[in-house]
């Protein structure tokens, strides 16, 4: 008896796992990670996945036909592209679709038949309870949080009177009589609804997609944050509400409160309705999309240099940037200014860590979410200023907490407003009219009060061997063969004020945080004498006069911060000084170009990126990764002289230095996959912002510190806000699947694909377009699957005159 029960519950958690594959984890806003919302469907072809998401969410998978039409007319899609796309889609054919029972929940059936609003009522309750349970920072009044969502709810919901107003008369008893564990509750409720066997998964999925935002966030908590069982809790609570509310409807409509009896009746009625409107429209969106992407592919490939250039890197100053698409424009400008050679590598430099900042008690992960860091690094400082600084931070937070607590205290709330109220005039005026100036004054004051604590990273958790392994990985991964005098490792971060999505502009490879710390860690390890000595035995000889310097690129202002440059020798200091000047110069130039593409204010002074970075009214401080379209893993010489418009993830890779294919394997399983996540998030947010994006920022309402709702109460919004992908009347991001270009022998790529089915399915199911540049034949090949390659001949591209540089979409779209 007991065995069958545990087997049942085991099956149930399997079923929940399976049912939740239609959503992906939604990371909290404090570390925003771009994800493919339809990751669960990567095992079927892209077009089928889009059809599937249409069935589930009513989502669009492609742009409107009129948009493609506009592109066709403007020459953005050529007839030849369309022809090629058409042929390919014919030959590819439709894949066998997985069959799944289509099922509606009982509440939905009631709503459809009688026009009641049961689903809305359930959703409202669920949003309320999820918000109350998940929030840790906003509500000042909170009953002591018990261990799980289910027990939290069970303890409190019995006091809830809202069900009474919906006609449920025995609410408290019904909550009290539920089992202690949510799995049992869920099993019981499913049993009462007589949902068994193969019907369970579709039924649960139906419930999950009612509030995809909250469900996705709960999935993150379940899979990434160690709160196991929270989705079960959620579904159990949800089904209980459904049961209680539909019973009322059933009693009203059928004079019978047994849902098991009522359900067949409802189903037959729904089926009658359904048969009337079953017409599927074939949409050629996928063909048009393909043609659109082919056009870009041809343009990009013809702009790349095919012939191999012997690697001659003898620059005395080398700079390693993150692969982020925002690095490409600054790299190009820097290279034009002097004999610099630049490299692209994932922004955490292959060194995952869990960092605790100076004075902080909250460690955070600085690495892609594919990895889990094992090493703790603490930012320390032994100067007296550190204590002062910590004290200042604590004071600031305490004052904030005091204000919040007092505002919620009846004895203090009204007095507080009278005390502080008029003081708000100053920040109101200053932040609105002089954002940068006031920010500078504030920073200077803070510096006076808190002092500047010079800190360093405590690397004691790394052993020498570990450090050597990390250093070796970084040097090989970057592809450094020649070492100049100065090698700058440059992370990146973004500055914006009053922006809930600030983290989405930071470095994705650092887990949605700034990349400065990772660069400092890497530089510190690579500068260590012992490490260099041990590297010698591995065949890596770093000259004694080579210095690694950490830097941080602010992508909003295009300013650079170089760390720890005080103790350099004269020769190095000269190089660094020259570099500093050139970076300022390159940044200035880039700012000028970038600002033209951003939405403008009539207070023209405030359009300057330096102002944008600290302007609390600024809705679009920068464009982030909008426009991203391709991923290139090749030596820089291949793309050096071309303007890639800030649309390309650039990863350095030299196949001749990678005889065993280890580096290629790493590139294709980590940076390429992360780039695909980012790309898909931009794609989906653009083609259907209502379902996969988070709508307009001006309506956002931050809940807890993990998500945004729209308006007073709504589902959590997923994906990117409209302001990240478009201006008032123009799309900034052109939605296209990632085009991966790798300069390596086909066989090496095939090896990786056959070894990693999760990457292979991305290629074979057309989630990415993989093009290889065969270095021996100097020709491009596009992969259809592992081992199936087709040569492509990009027509020489003729530059159009009205082309806008730096990645602004050159097609206008009507906003829906």
Query: Which residues within the stretch 377-396 sit at the binding site for another protein (CB under 8 A)?
Result: 387-388, 390-396
Piece of the chain touching another protein by CB under 8 A; list 2-10, 304-312, 335-343, 718-726: 718-726
Shortest Å distance, C-beta 696 to another protein:
7
Does 457 bind another protein (CB under 8 A)? Our answer is no
The bridge status of strand 707-710 relative to strand 738-743 is: unpaired
Does 165 bind another protein (CB under 8 A)? Our answer is yes
Three-state DSSP string of 724-760 = HCECCCCECCCCCCEEEEEECCHHHHHHHHHHCHHHH
Binding mask 85-104 for another protein (x = CB under 8 A): --------------------
Please say which residue, 195 or 457, places its beta carbon nearer to another protein. 457
Among 344, 368, 477, 704, binds another protein (CB under 8 A): 704
Does 283 bind another protein (CB under 8 A)? Our answer is no
Contact positions with another protein (CB under 8 A) in 120-149 = 128, 131-132, 134-145
Binding mask 3-42 for another protein (x = CB under 8 A): --------------------------xx------------
Shortest Å distance, C-beta 494 to another protein:
13
CB 48 within 8 A of CB 257: no
Written as six digits, the tokens of 238 are 């949800």
Does 617 bind another protein (CB under 8 A)? Our answer is yes
Could you give the angle at the alpha carbon of 197 between the alpha carbons of 193 and 202, nearest 5°?
75
Give SS3 for 112: helix
Does 445 bind another protein (CB under 8 A)? Our answer is no
Shortest Å distance, C-beta 732 to another protein:
10
Shortest Å distance, C-beta 516 to another protein:
16
Among 606, 632, 748, 768, binds another protein (CB under 8 A): 606
d(CA 168, CA 407): 35
Piece of the chain touching another protein by CB under 8 A; list 199-207, 430-438, 517-525, 681-689: 430-438
* HSE, side-chain direction, 13 A CA sphere, residue 764: 16
Does 443 bind another protein (CB under 8 A)? Our answer is no
CB 596 within 8 A of CB 730: no
Which helix (H) or strand (E) segment holds residue 259: the answer is helix 259-276
Does 226 bind another protein (CB under 8 A)? Our answer is no
| DSSP tally for the chain: helices H, then strands E | 30, 17
Does 151 bind another protein (CB under 8 A)? Our answer is no
Please say which residue, 87 or 403, places its beta carbon nearer to another protein. 403
d(CA 295, CA 798): 12
Does 253 bind another protein (CB under 8 A)? Our answer is no
d(CA 479, CA 755): 23
Could you give the angle at the alpha carbon of 54 between the alpha carbons of 71 and 669, nearest 5°?
80
**For residue 706, what are the contacts with CB-CB under 8 A and spacing of at least 6?**
28, 29, 30, 134, 135, 217
Among 3, 282, 539, 602, binds another protein (CB under 8 A): 602
Among 10, 65, 371, 420, binds another protein (CB under 8 A): 420
Contact positions with another protein (CB under 8 A) in 620-659 = 620
Does 218 bind another protein (CB under 8 A)? Our answer is no
Does 227 bind another protein (CB under 8 A)? Our answer is no
14-24: b (≥16 Cβ within 10 Å) or e: ebbeebbbbbb
Neighbours of 383 (CB within 10 A): 13
CB 619 within 8 A of CB 497: no
Does 434 bind another protein (CB under 8 A)? Our answer is no
Binding mask 483-512 for another protein (x = CB under 8 A): --------------xxxx-xx---------
Shortest Å distance, C-beta 730 to another protein:
10
**CA separation, residue 288 to residues 93, 301, 328, 445, 813 (Å):** 16, 20, 29, 57, 15
Among 10, 102, 228, 433, binds another protein (CB under 8 A): 433
The bridge status of strand 648-651 relative to strand 630-633 is: parallel
d(CA 474, CA 270): 60
d(CA 13, CA 15): 5
**For residue 170, what are the contacts with CB-CB under 8 A and spacing of at least 6?**
none
Shortest Å distance, C-beta 428 to another protein:
5
Piece of the chain touching another protein by CB under 8 A; list 6-14, 302-310, 541-549, 693-701: 693-701
Among 1, 101, 161, 798, binds another protein (CB under 8 A): 161
Could you give the angle at the alpha carbon of 230 between the alpha carbons of 693 and 127, nearest 5°?
50
Does 755 bind another protein (CB under 8 A)? Our answer is no
Among 370, 371, 397, 574, binds another protein (CB under 8 A): 397
**CA separation, residue 278 to residues 57, 101, 107, 281 (Å):** 17, 16, 22, 10
Binding mask 344-383 for another protein (x = CB under 8 A): -------------x-xxxx---------------------
Please say which residue, 777 or 815, places its beta carbon nearer to another protein. 815
Number of residues that bind another protein (CB under 8 A): 114
Among 9, 42, 151, 160, binds another protein (CB under 8 A): 160
Does 301 bind another protein (CB under 8 A)? Our answer is no
Question: Can you name the residues that pair with 549 across neighbouring β-strands?
Answer: 488
CB 92 within 8 A of CB 788: no
Among 44, 709, 772, 783, binds another protein (CB under 8 A): 709
Shortest Å distance, C-beta 381 to another protein:
15
């Amino acid at each position: 008896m007991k065995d069958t029960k545990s087997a049942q519950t085991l099956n149930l958690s399997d079923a929940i796992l399976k049912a939740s594959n239609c959503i992906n984890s939604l990371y909290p806003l404090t570390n925003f990670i771009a994800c493919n919302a339809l990751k669960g469907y990567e095992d079927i072809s892209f077009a089928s996945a889009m059809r599937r998401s249409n069935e589930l969410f009513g989502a669009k998978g492609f742009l409107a036909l009129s948009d493609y039409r506009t592109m066709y007319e403007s020459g953005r899609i050529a007839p030849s592209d369309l022809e090629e796309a058409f042929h390919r889609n014919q030959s590819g054919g439709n894949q066998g679709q997985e069959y799944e029972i289509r099922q509606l929940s009982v509440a939905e059936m009631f709503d459809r038949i009688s026009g009641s609003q049961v689903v809305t009522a359930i959703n409202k309750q669920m949003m309320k309870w999820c918000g109350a349970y998940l929030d840790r920072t906003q509500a000042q009044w909170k009953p002591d949080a018990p261990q799980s969502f289910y027990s939290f709810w069970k303890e409190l919901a019995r006091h809830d009177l809202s069900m009474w107003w919906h006609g449920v008369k025995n609410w408290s008893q019904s909550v009290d009589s539920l089992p202690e564990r949510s799995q049992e509750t869920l099993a019981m409720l499913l049993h009462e609804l007589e949902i068994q066997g193969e019907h369970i998964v579709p039924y649960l999925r139906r419930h999950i997609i009612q509030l995809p935002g909250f469900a996705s966030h709960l999935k993150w908590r379940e899979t990434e944050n160690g709160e196991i069982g929270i989705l079960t809790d959620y579904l159990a609570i949800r089904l209980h509400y459904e049961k209680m509310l539909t019973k009322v409807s059933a009693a009203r409509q059928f004079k019978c409160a047994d849902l098991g009896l009522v359900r067949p009746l409802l189903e037959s009625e729904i089926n009658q309705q359904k048969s009337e409107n079953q017409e599927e429209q074939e949409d050629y969106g996928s063909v048009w999309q393909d043609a659109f992407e082919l056009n870009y592919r041809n343009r990009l490939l013809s702009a790349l240099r095919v012939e191999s250039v012997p690697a001659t890197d003898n620059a005395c100053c080398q700079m390693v940037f993150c692969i982020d698409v925002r690095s490409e424009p600054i790299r190009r400008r820097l290279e034009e200014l002097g004999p610099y050679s630049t490299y692209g590598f994932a922004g955490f430099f292959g060194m995952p860590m869990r960092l605790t900042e100076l004075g902080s008690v909250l460690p955070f992960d600085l690495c892609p979410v594919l990895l889990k860091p094992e090493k703790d690094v603490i930012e320390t400082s032994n100067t007296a200023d550190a204590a002062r600084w910590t004290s200042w931070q604590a004071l600031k937070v305490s004052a904030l907490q005091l204000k919040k607590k007092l505002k919620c205290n009846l004895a203090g709330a009204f007095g507080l407003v009278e005390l502080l109220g008029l003081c708000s005039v100053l920040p109101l005026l200053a932040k609105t009219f002089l954002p940068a100036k006031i920010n500078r004054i504030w920073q200077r004051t803070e510096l006076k009060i808190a002092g500047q604590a010079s800190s360093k990273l405590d690397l004691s958790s790394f052993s020498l061997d570990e450090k050597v392994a990390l250093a070796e990985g970084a040097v090989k991964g970057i592809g450094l063969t020649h070492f100049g005098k100065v090698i700058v490792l440059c992370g990146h971060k973004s500055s914006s004020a009053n922006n809930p999505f600030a983290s989405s502009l930071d470095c994705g490879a650092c887990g949605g945080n700034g990349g400065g710390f990772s660069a400092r860690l890497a530089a510190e390890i690579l500068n260590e004498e012992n490490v260099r000595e041990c590297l010698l035995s591995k065949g890596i000889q770093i000259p004694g006069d080579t210095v690694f310097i950490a830097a941080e690129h602010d992508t909003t202002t295009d300013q650079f911060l170089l760390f720890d440059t005080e103790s350099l020798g004269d020769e190095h200091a000269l190089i660094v000084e020259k570099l500093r000047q050139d970076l300022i110069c390159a940044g200035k130039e880039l700012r000028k170009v970038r600002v033209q593409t951003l939405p403008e204010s009539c207070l023209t002074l405030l359009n300057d990126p330096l102002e944008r970075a600290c302007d609390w009214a600024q809705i679009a401080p920068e464009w982030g990764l909008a426009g991203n379209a391709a991923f290139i893993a090749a030596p820089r010489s291949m793309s050096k002289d071309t303007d890639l418009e800030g649309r390309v993830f650039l990863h350095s890779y030299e196949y001749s230095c990678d005889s065993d294919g280890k580096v290629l394997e790493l590139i294709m399983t980590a940076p390429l996959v992360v780039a695909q996540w980012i790309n898909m998030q931009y794609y989906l947010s653009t083609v259907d912002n209502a379902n996969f994006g988070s709508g307009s920022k001006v309506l956002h309402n931050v809940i807890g510190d993990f998500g945004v709702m729209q308006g007073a109460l709504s589902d959590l919004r997923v994906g990117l806000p409209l302001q990240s992908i478009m201006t008032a009347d123009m799309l900034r991001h052109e939605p296209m699947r990632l085009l991966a270009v790798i300069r390596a022998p086909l066989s090496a790529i095939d090896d990786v694909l056959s070894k990693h089915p999760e990457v292979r399915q991305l290629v074979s199911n057309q989630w990415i377009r993989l093009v290889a540049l065969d270095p021996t034949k100097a020709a491009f090949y596009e992969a259809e699957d592992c081992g199936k390659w087709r040569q492509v001949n990009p027509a020489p591209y003729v530059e159009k005159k009205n082309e806008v540089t730096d990645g602004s979409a050159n097609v206008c779209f009507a906003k829906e």
